[in-house]
């Protein structure tokens, strides 16, 4: 773990989000700033920094400025474990947020739970994250919920029945696949084949040939922008015309840049509606693009939401006591860029799923999934 480098980064960050006060309220933040997930890490950090800047401009926490204590976990469980311990033992944080992927978030969640420190996952999807215990929450959808939404989108909204699944072999892909398979038959979907690939894969010729032979009505493909971009591009260049349905891992301009013209028509289930007329979403989109110089994506919106949940809880609790902060988080009822946020007994979010489509080289509104029964996360 690059602690020396990280500590100097914290000092710089404090200057960017507000005056370095002697008496600040610290929020821990683990995020991948280097390695394969660095682009998502940059979006996550910018979303978090914007939320802190806005909160400090509005008076901070009872007059005290917020300090975002940031460490680079490289999206690695091996890095996340010592970072979580350092945030608790050395930095003394009383609440923390993950701006990272499922593996590192799952590893850190156990540490925060054992220390009775509230911890919010901004966008990691693995179901075991919140099952770490009552101090752990999630402001985005768990993977199974997104998978169920994908089944409704393909089988009911799009009326496609013969589906090929292309599944990323990690926590993210497996949890999405589990949810999709659980609901597929309920929407008349026949899964005619499932193909798996590694997070290191960028060449998909063998999968493309098999999918072309399968002749599906639709393709349900999990992945991140750096795997989904090459996959979609190669599917189209290989003569596969079936619509591709992905998830929030695609959500961002990086996917469109990598996939190129092949991105047109791709649909995803996600948390952010870029065409929303909701005041919170519109304000976030405007302020984020001005603040970061980049287009919004699901990751930035989700971390902005998670930090805002923490800020609201700290103000409600009126104390640095972790139990009081945890109780305040559990009572959250907050309008945010990613929708109305509230939690169930497991710490899972309850909200609608947004469906975005690439049109004219950008993400736009396609539809919204509001089925409360389908989208209900587990309670335990």
Task: List pLDDT tens digits, range 14-45.
Answer: 433 433 333 899 999 999 999 999 999 999 99
pLDDT over 70 at 82, yes or no: yes
Nearest to 350 by CA among 173, 179, 145: 145
Considering the four listed CATH numbers 3.40.30.10, 3.40.50.2300, 3.40.50.12780, 3.40.50.300, the one that applies to the domain covering 3-141+277-349 is 3.40.50.2300
334-336 and 339-341 strand pairing:
antiparallel
Q: Are 183 and 371 in contact (CB under 8 A)?
A: no
Question: pTM for the whole thing?
Answer: 0.92
Q: What is the mean pLDDT of residues 320-349?
A: 97
DSSP string, 139-175: SS--HHHHHHHHHHIIIIIS---EEEEEEESSHHHHH
Confidence grade of residue 12 (pLDDT, cut at 50, 70, 90):
very low
Considering the four listed CATH numbers 3.40.50.2300, 3.30.479.30, 3.40.470.10, 1.10.3720.10, the one that applies to the domain covering 143-270+354-375 is 3.40.50.2300
Give the CA angle between residues 22, 24, 30 to the nearest 5°.
125
Residues of the chain with CATH 3.40.50.2300: 3-141+277-349, 143-270+354-375
Helix, strand, coil in percent for the chain, rounding step 5: 45, 20, 35
pLDDT digits (tens, 9 = 90+) for 231-267: 999 999 999 999 999 999 999 999 999 999 999 999 9
Neighbours of 355 (CB within 10 A): 21
Token pair 């015309």 is at which residue?
241
Q: What is the mean pLDDT of residues 369-375?
A: 96
pLDDT digits (tens, 9 = 90+) for 355-370: 999 999 999 999 999 9
Q: Are 91 and 118 in contact (CB under 8 A)?
A: no
The residues, ordered by sequence, that sit 6+ positions from 8 with a Cβ below 8 Å of its Cβ are none
**What 3-state DSSP class applies to 132?**
helix
């Amino acid at each position: 773990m690059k602690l020396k480098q990280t500590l100097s980064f914290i000092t710089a960050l404090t200057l960017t989000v507000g005056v370095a006060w002697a008496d600040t309220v610290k929020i821990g933040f683990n995020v991948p700033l280097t390695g394969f997930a660095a682009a998502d890490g940059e979006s996550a950090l910018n979303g978090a920094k914007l939320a802190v800047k806005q909160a400090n401009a509005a008076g901070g926490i009872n007059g005290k400025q917020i300090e975002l204590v940031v460490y680079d976990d490289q999206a690695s469980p091996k890095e996340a474990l010592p970072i979580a311990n350092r945030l608790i033992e050395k930095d003394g944080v009383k609440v923390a947020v993950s701006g990272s992927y499922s593996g590192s978030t799952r590893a850190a969640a156990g540490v925060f739970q054992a220390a009775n420190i509230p911890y919010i996952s901004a966008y990691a999807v693995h179901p075991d994250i919140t099952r770490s215990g009552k101090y752990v929450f999630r402001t985005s959808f768990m993977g199974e919920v997104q998978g169920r939404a994908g089944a409704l989108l393909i089988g009911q909204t799009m009326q496609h029945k013969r589906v090929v699944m292309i599944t990323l072999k990690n926590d993210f892909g497996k949890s999405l696949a589990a949810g999709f398979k659980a609901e597929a038959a309920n929407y008349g979907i026949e899964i005619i084949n499932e193909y798996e690939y590694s997070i290191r894969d960028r060449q998909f010729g063998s999968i493309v040939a098999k999918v072309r032979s399968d002749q599906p009505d639709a393709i349900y493909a999990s992945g991140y922008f750096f795997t989904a971009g090459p996959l979609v591009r190669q599917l189209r260049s290989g003569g596969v015309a079936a619509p591709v349905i992905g998830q929030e891992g695609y959500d961002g301009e990086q996917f469109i840049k990598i996939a190129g013209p092949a991105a047109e028509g791709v649909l995803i289930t996600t948390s952010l509606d870029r065409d929303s007329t909701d005041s919170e979403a519109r304000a976030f989109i405007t302020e984020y693009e001005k603040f970061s110089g980049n287009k919004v994506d699901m990751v930035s919106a989700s971390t902005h939401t998670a930090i805002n949940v923490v800020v609201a809880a700290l103000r409600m609790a009126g104390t640095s006591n972790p139990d009081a902060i945890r109780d305040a988080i559990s009572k959250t009822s907050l309008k945010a860029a990613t929708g109305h946020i509230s939690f169930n007994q497991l710490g899972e979010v309850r909200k609608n799923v947004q469906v975005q489509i690439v049109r004219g080289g950008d993400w736009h509104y396609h539809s919204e999934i509001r089925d409360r029964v389908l989208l209900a996360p587990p309670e335990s």
